[in-house]
Amino acid sequence: MIAIIDYNAGNLTSVARALSHIGYESVITHDINELLHAERIIFPGVGAAGSAMDSLRRQGLDTVILDAFQSGKPILGICLGTQIIMNYSEENHTPCLGIVEGITRAFQSGLASDDGTILKIPHMGWNQVELLRPHPVLSEVCTTDEFYFVHGYYPDPKNPDHILGLTNYGVTFASIVGYRNIIATQFHLEKSGRPGLKILENFCKWQPC
């Protein structure tokens, strides 16, 4: 069973519907026992880092995620679930999970596109991802594919080897992060059409070394 972590964040049911569409059962849960016995964990969400981390700690889910990572269980982060695997988020000045060493940074005002147009923050809409290295979860994904983003913050891993994909929105940022048995996307897989569903499907089959 695939467990989707319920930590009072938005967009969880959209991920469950996407999994059902590609033929995989899932459960949205904050039950620690269910999470411990799940074959793999998805950690999606929209919202603020501060309230998300408060909810995780209050329910003991931060420890569950860390234990799952240490056990080698496949974990997928999406959007907010990508940002709070870093050490710290500039949003709400929040200490986070620290699975991947790095900081989640805010987009600065005044960012401009190549033609000088001032870009809106948060970043909302479709954008391409430059894939830096192969990964089983990214199989059959092309750099011409576009993915759907909604975010005002982005992950900035300290180790460049943990960056699997880059996107430019006035600044070049890590849009796919991978380390051992965790992979995380800043874009919304469940809203990204065929390429997003392909990544979800690949994750459901992934057996990390």
The tokens for 166 are 């880059």
- CA angle, corner 11, sides to 72 and 207, nearest 5? 20
Q: Tell me which of 123, 188, 201, 204 is the catalytic residue.
A: 188
Q: Give the start-to-end residue ranges of the domains of the chain.
A: 2-205
- pLDDT, residue 177, reads 98
- At 109-120, the pLDDT tens digits run 989 988 889 999
* 199 vs 3: CA distance, rounded Å: 17
- At 47-102, the pLDDT tens digits run 899 999 999 999 999 999 999 999 999 999 999 999 999 999 999 999 999 999 99
pTM above 0.85, yes or no: yes
- 209 carries an active-site annotation: no
Work out the average pLDDT over 35-48: 94
Q: Tell me which of 79, 91, 151, 201 is the catalytic residue.
A: 79
The tokens for 146 are 């576009």
How many CB atoms within 10 Å of residue 189? 26
- 190 carries an active-site annotation: yes
- pLDDT, residue 45, reads 87
- What percent of the chain has a predicted confidence (pLDDT) above 70? 100
- 79 carries an active-site annotation: yes
- Quickly state the pLDDT bin for 193 (edges 50, 70, 90): very high
- Quickly state the pLDDT bin for 178 (edges 50, 70, 90): very high
The architecture of the domain spanning 2-205 is 3-Layer(aba) Sandwich (3.40)
Average pLDDT, the chain: 96
* 42 vs 4: CA distance, rounded Å: 5
The SS3 of residue 112 is strand
- At 127-148, the pLDDT tens digits run 999 999 999 999 999 989 999 9
* 61 vs 84: CA distance, rounded Å: 13
* 173 vs 193: CA distance, rounded Å: 22
Residue 170 Ramachandran class (φ > 0 left, ψ -120 to 50 alpha, else beta): left
pLDDT at 10 over 80: no
- pLDDT, residue 156, reads 98
Work out the average pLDDT over 155-161: 98
* 43 vs 27: CA distance, rounded Å: 12
